[in-house]
């Protein structure tokens, strides 16, 4: 949505198409920004809590396959039909790097297609090894990236290539990057602070920075009761697992509440349980519903979160140190990024998380001399508001190159 808004400011007409796994609608905000909006499919039938219970102990690739079977493949044809219509109606299409039906539709109609990546952990480097692989020197590290390609192929290639091959497209060697990235421009929507090795990437991958919503788009104000709670005492600790919280609503609430009580700290907890309604307070804990995080994070001493790309950037933009409780490898990658930059304690894996251990992590961060200072320095380094502008510049330059070659 942030990118759509900036493209429109630059004089482009934009249609935003959303496939929402939790059926959230963004129609109201798009209407306010005068962005055309479609939801494809109109409804996704997906029981997130039940899925979470079944997949909690799976490794990342098993989990991804289970998610695709439950929530993507049943709608693949509808997404492809919508993609074909979009390609017909527009001069250029831009989609999440996993959205291969969009790339397929654009390829068949010979229209420019650009992808957007929100986590750079799987982008191959010439010298550094893949995440969780040992650093064995540049030559062997490059070989390890080839091993990772074959792991992805083994797990995903058969299921992901069916539509591609059925539509008469030539066979491809590897899922990454041939199926799951643009051939012309893959925007990496990550702040340069987190990308020290971008010079080792193939030039298709270009860092634009975090795609942050503008103040025009984000009109939410802190409710009066929450503002009063913030001003009543020392800075609170914010606790959320973002969209993942819907998958483990009661477990996460019990974990947060008990950890806050054991730490004896003031806390703002994003609620996912009817037992704790939004905008209510129990002692030193204030419960909030879904809302834009940045507005509140800047008033907090630390943020407990799952390590999603958005929450990682938002906590950093707000000058808050993090305590990360990752559920899967991509979130663990972000947790290590924050730890490496001195912005977080060591990650606490969700499967190992208890209130006592989480309380110890929170206490260590609150008592740390370095982490809050590092967080304030990172806040000054991170490029607030520049990501969408740079993304538009990169898209326009890539469009020019595309038309020169076609």
**Rg of the Cα trace of the chain?**
22
Sheet holding 186-188, edge to edge: 93-96, 113-117, 186-188, 205-207
Two structure tokens written together for 196: 């020290």
DSSP 153-184: HHHHHHHHHHHHHHTTPPP-S-IIIIITS-SS
Q: Give me the tens of pLDDT residue by residue for the chain, a chain 406 residues long.
A: 999 999 999 999 999 999 999 899 999 989 999 999 999 999 999 998 888 888 877 888 888 999 999 999 999 999 999 999 999 999 999 999 999 999 999 999 999 999 999 999 999 999 999 999 999 999 999 999 999 999 999 999 999 999 999 999 999 999 998 999 999 999 999 999 999 999 999 999 999 999 998 877 777 889 999 999 999 999 999 999 998 888 889 999 999 999 999 999 999 999 999 999 999 999 999 999 989 899 999 999 999 999 999 999 999 999 999 999 999 899 999 999 999 999 999 999 999 999 999 999 999 999 999 999 999 999 999 987 899 999 999 999 999 999 888 7
Segments making up each domain of the chain, as ranges = 2-214+385-405, 224-381
The listed CATH number (3.40.50.2300, 3.40.50.300, 3.40.50.1820, 3.40.50.2000) that belongs to domain 2-214+385-405: 3.40.50.2000
For residues 205 and 123, is the Cβ–Cβ distance under 8 A?
yes
Instruction: Kindly indicate whether the domain formed by 224-381 is annotated with CATH number 1.20.1560.10.
Output: no
Domains 2-214+385-405 and 224-381 share a fold: yes
Place of tokens 């958005």: 310
pTM of the shown model: 0.95
């Amino acid at each position: 949505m942030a990118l759509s808004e900036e493209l429109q400011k630059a004089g482009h007409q934009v249609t935003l198409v959303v496939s929402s796994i939790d059926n959230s609608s963004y129609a109201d905000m798009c209407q306010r920004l005068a962005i055309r909006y479609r939801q494809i499919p109109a409804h996704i039938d997906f029981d997130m809590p039940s899925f979470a219970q079944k997949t909690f102990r799976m490794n990342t690739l098993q989990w991804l396959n289970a998610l695709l079977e439950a929530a993507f493949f049943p709608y693949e044809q509808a997404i492809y039909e919508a993609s074909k219509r979009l390609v017909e109606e527009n001069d250029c299409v831009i989609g999440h790097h996993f959205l291969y039906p969009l790339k397929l539709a654009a390829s068949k109609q010979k229209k420019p297609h650009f992808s957007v990546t929100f986590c750079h952990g799987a982008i191959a480097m010439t010298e550094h090894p893949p995440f969780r692989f040992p650093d064995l020197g540049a030559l062997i590290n490059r070989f390890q990236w080839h091993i990772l390609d074959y792991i992805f192929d083994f797990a995903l290639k058969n299921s992901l290539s069916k539509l591609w091959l059925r539509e008469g497209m030539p066979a491809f060697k590897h899922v990454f990057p041939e199926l799951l990235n643009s051939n012309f421009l893959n925007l990496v929507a990550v702040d340069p602070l987190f990308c020290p090795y971008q010079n080792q990437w193939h030039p298709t991958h270009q860092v634009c920075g975090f795609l942050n919503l503008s103040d025009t788009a984000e009109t939410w104000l802190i409710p009066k009761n929450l503002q009063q709670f913030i001003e009543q005492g020392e800075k609170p600790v914010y606790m959320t697992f973002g969209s993942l919280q819907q998958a483990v609503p009661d477990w996460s609430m019990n974990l947060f509440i008990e950890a806050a009580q054991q730490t004896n700290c003031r806390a703002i907890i994003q609620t996912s349980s009817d037992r704790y309604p939004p905008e209510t307070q129990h002692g030193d804990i204030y419960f909030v519903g879904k809302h834009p995080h940045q507005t509140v994070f800047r008033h907090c001493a630390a943020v407990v979160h799952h390590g999603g790309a958005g929450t990682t950037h938002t906590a950093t933009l707000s000058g808050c140190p993090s305590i990360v409780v990752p559920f899967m490898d991509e979130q663990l990658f972000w947790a290590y990024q924050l730890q490496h930059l001195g912005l977080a304690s060591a990650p606490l894996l969700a499967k190992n998380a208890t209130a006592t251990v989480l309380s110890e992590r929170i206490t260590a961060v609150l008592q740390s001399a370095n982490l809050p200072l590092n967080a304030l320095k990172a806040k000054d380094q991170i490029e607030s508001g520049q990501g969408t502008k740079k993304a538009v510049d990169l898209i326009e330059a890539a469009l020019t190159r595309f038309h020169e070659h076609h």
